[in-house]
Amino acid sequence: MSKKPKVASNTIALNKRARHDYFIEDEIEAGLELQGWEVKALRAGKANIGDSYVIFRNGEAYLFGAMITPLNVASTHIVTDPTRTRKLLLNKRELDSLFGKVNRDGFTVVALSLYWKNAWAKVKIGLAKGKKLHDKREDIKDREWQVAKQRIMKHTNR
């Protein structure tokens, strides 16, 4: 009578508003440069990337606006800043591509999800273009139609 081990979700935080507010053109996985207390807080699930986006400084990419709430058992001799900008670990080709598209084509780069990959914290960033109000309404209409269609199909198959 051995019990199967529970499969834990690898997802730490999702940015659901990103897909509502933006057309996501491309997705890229990036590593995060974190401090020790941040890793512990992420293991406890204390992260929010709802308002986060990527900024470029000195040829490097940084995650801005991500909130990692420190645990109350964090060390007292470390200054914990929950909203500090965290460096993204990308290779040179990815950095150049993102930087060029943001500057030339009017794209923005937003954080889509924060998750564990093996023992590493990764963030999925998306190259995005903003949606207009009528685009958002069309998405809502399509989503509601899909739900209604599933409901109709469920009742007709009985």
**CA distances in angstroms from 126 to 2, 67, 73, listed in the order given:** 42, 18, 34
Secondary structure element (H or E) that encloses residue 37, with its range: helix 36-43
Does the pLDDT at position 106 exceed 90? no
pTM tops 0.95: no
Question: Can you give the length of the chain in residues?
Answer: 158
pLDDT digits (tens, 9 = 90+) for 37-77: 888 888 888 889 888 989 999 989 999 988 888 888 766 77
Closest CA to 62 of 37, 94, 91, 84: 84
Phi first, then psi: give them for residue 14, nearest 5 degrees. Answer: -120, 150
